[in-house]
Amino acid sequence: MATAGLKTNGATDTRQRIIDVAVSLFTRHSFAGTSLQMIADEMGFTKAAVYHHFHTREQLLGAVVEPLFGQVRPIIEQAEAQRSRNARAEHMLTGYADLAVRHRALMSVLAGDPGVIDMLRAQGDFGDLINRQIKLFADLDPGPGGLVKAAVVLAGIAGAALPSSVLDLDDDALRQHFIEAGRRTLGLRTPRRPSRLAAPNAPAPR
């Protein structure tokens, strides 16, 4: 019986499994094309079992994007604390490329679906986080050209990270190529020191 999983794995595991299945269905059918019923069917659950954890698709979407938001926020804050425009953009770029590679399916849901973006902008500080990321890149070249380059880098890395993309690279190689493509677009030189991303929990320098 499928719902036996609810008991043996515990409620937290079930919640996480619903989130994982939701991401997978969102990337195949888009957010608007995925119902709680489809998620239940995919898991062999009743709709009531899914409803026990998430009452609406909006609530589920919030839970799906929460880990990504939780990771991008400190990257933005650490980037903003760097001393030079170049260091700020470099820190944001390496952090963003890392997230894109580690959350390929989720980034494609976020980047591509206009319904998702509108809902997230309405829901919380998503719009603010996007604008701060754009500013960190666009400050390298004040004016509309800098804004366009920033938008191309953010959309390009997220879009190219799509699991169905032509790219069949391991994570480390893909991350490094994203960083190099972003540096070229933004006109950033390769820094002499290795990126601080290797120790993401270290406090930002003051």
Q: Tell me: does residue 184 bind a second copy (CB under 8 A).
A: yes
Max Cα–Cα distance, the chain, nearest Å: 60
171-186 helix and 144-160 helix, angle to the nearest 10 degrees: 170
User: Judged by CB under 8 A, which of 131, 142, 200, 205 binds a second copy?
Assistant: 131
What letter represents residue 164's amino acid? S
36 and 18 in contact (C-beta within 8 Å)?
Answer: no
The binder of a second copy chosen from 6, 81, 87, 117 (CB under 8 A) = 117
Does residue 191 touch a second copy according to CB under 8 A?
no
By beta-carbon proximity to a second copy, the closer residue of 38 and 81 is: 38
CB 84 within 8 A of CB 191: no
The packing angle between helices 4-29 and 104-112, to 10°, is 50
In the bound complex, what is the minimum distance in angstroms from residue 129's beta carbon to a second copy? 13
Q: Does 147 bind a second copy (CB under 8 A)?
A: yes
C-alpha to C-alpha distance for 183 and 186, rounded to whole angstroms: 5
Site membership for a second copy, residue 158 (CB under 8 A): yes
Site residues for a second copy per CB under 8 A: 27-34, 108, 111-115, 117-118, 131, 134, 144-145, 147-149, 151-160, 162, 164-167, 169, 173-174, 177-178, 180-182, 184-185, 187
